Amino acid sequence: MSALPLATAEACDANVHLILNGELRALQPIFQIYGRRQVFSGPIVTLKVFEDNVLIREFLEERGNGRVLVVDGGGSMRCAILGGNPVQQAQNNGWAGIVVNGCIRDVDEINGCDIGVRALGSHPMKANKKGFGERHAAVNIAGTRICDGEWLYADSDGILISRTEISI
């Protein structure tokens, strides 16, 4: 029998000491919820890109092993850096979720996938394909610094980042 998913509100209530010392942080509530999996968590892999999705696609072609891809897209609202095909591939490759500081497209297709996706919004225009970006770099998203290897917990109440895996 698998464990119940960690509720972010309960995690905050039970770990005040981690919040006070900065080991547990909440992202500002700027993200829209997409995908069929509203609750997801896992170790973080970070990526920094701007209006380019080549590196995103490359990451999602790898085995996810329950990880969460956190993409700092610079908050761009001028194009989508993630679409339905890579999300479908991420689902098939075992990624738990994807958080995008930017836009997505193919929303209906993404909403049919059994994966958690958070993004600022949707946009019909596609991204560039030049392959520029930084893998495994610390990123600053929604008021929080996020590092490769930290843990992400997401549900309908919000998104938490923890230096280590937590439980309540």
The answer on whether 86 is annotated among ligand-binding residues is yes
The answer on whether 124 is annotated among ligand-binding residues is no
The answer on whether 157 is annotated among ligand-binding residues is no
The answer on whether 15 is annotated among ligand-binding residues is no
The answer on whether 105 is annotated among ligand-binding residues is yes
Which of 151, 161, 130 is CA-nearest to residue 57?
130
The whole-angstrom separation of Cα 9 and Cα 68 is 20
The answer on whether 5 is annotated among ligand-binding residues is no
The whole-angstrom separation of Cα 17 and Cα 20 is 5
What sign has the CA pseudo-torsion 6, 150, 60, 9? Answer: positive
SS3 49: coil
Task: Point out the annotated binding site for Mg(2+).
Answer: 106
Task: Point out the annotated binding site.
Answer: 83-86, 105-106
Task: Point out the annotated binding site for substrate.
Answer: 83-86, 105
